Amino acid sequence: MSLEAKTIIFKKDKNNNLSAKECDTFIKNYKDFKKGVISKITNPKTNKPLNDDDRIKYIYDKCKQKLDIRDSKSPKSKSKSKSKSKSKSSDSGDNEIILDSYEKVKDIIYIPFNTLKKNKQLIASLFTKPISYDIGLLKLS
C-alpha cells in the first residue's frame, strides 16, 4: 500500500487525532522510542501499542503541527537550521545502523542467545530512526 493511501486512511481514523495533552505525551514517548529508551509507542487516546511506522510518523507530524513544534528535520525550518557538519547520508532518509562501540558489535553477535526484550532494546538503539524489531533484524542480517 502506498504512503498516500495510508495517509488517507490515517486521516479518517479518529484515534489519530490527539488533543494537545495527548500530543505532549505522544511526542515525549516518540522521542524516548527514537532514543531506544522504550521499545513500543502507545496511542494515548486508545492506550494500544502502535506497530505501523508510517502511522507513528503520521501522528508525530500531526502533533508537531498541532503544537506548532519545529525541529531541524522539518521542511519549514530545514534551510534555516541546517548544520554545516551534517553529512549527505544523514539527510538521505535511510535508516542507518549506528555502530559506535565495540560493545554494540558484540551485542549483535550475541543476538541469538539474548532474551527477546534485550534484543528489542538493542535493535531500537542501533538505528538512526525508529524501526520495528523484525525489520531491524532483517537489516542486520
Q: Are residues 134 and 104 in the same domain?
A: yes
**Integer Cα distance of 102 and 90 in angstroms:** 22
90-119: per-residue pLDDT in tens? 444 577 888 888 888 888 888 889 888 888
Cβ proximity of 122 and 114 under 8 Å: yes
Q: Are residues 8 and 53 in the same domain?
A: yes
Residue 81 in domain: no
Q: How many domains does the chain have?
A: 2
Cα separations (Å) of 138 from 19, 129, 133, 135? 36, 15, 9, 5
Residue 94 in domain: yes
Cβ proximity of 72 and 82 under 8 Å: yes
Give the residue from 33, 66, 99 where a domain finishes: 66
Its pTM surpasses 0.75: no
Residue 111 in domain: yes
**Integer Cα distance of 34 and 104 in angstroms:** 17
Q: Are residues 97 and 136 in the same domain?
A: yes
75-90: per-residue pLDDT in tens? 444 444 444 344 434 4
Q: Are residues 7 and 42 in the same domain?
A: yes
Residue 11 in domain: yes
Q: Are residues 52 and 18 in the same domain?
A: yes
SS3 for 121?
helix
Q: Are residues 96 and 128 in the same domain?
A: yes
Residue 74 in domain: no
Query: Residue 130's domain spans which residues?
Result: 87-140
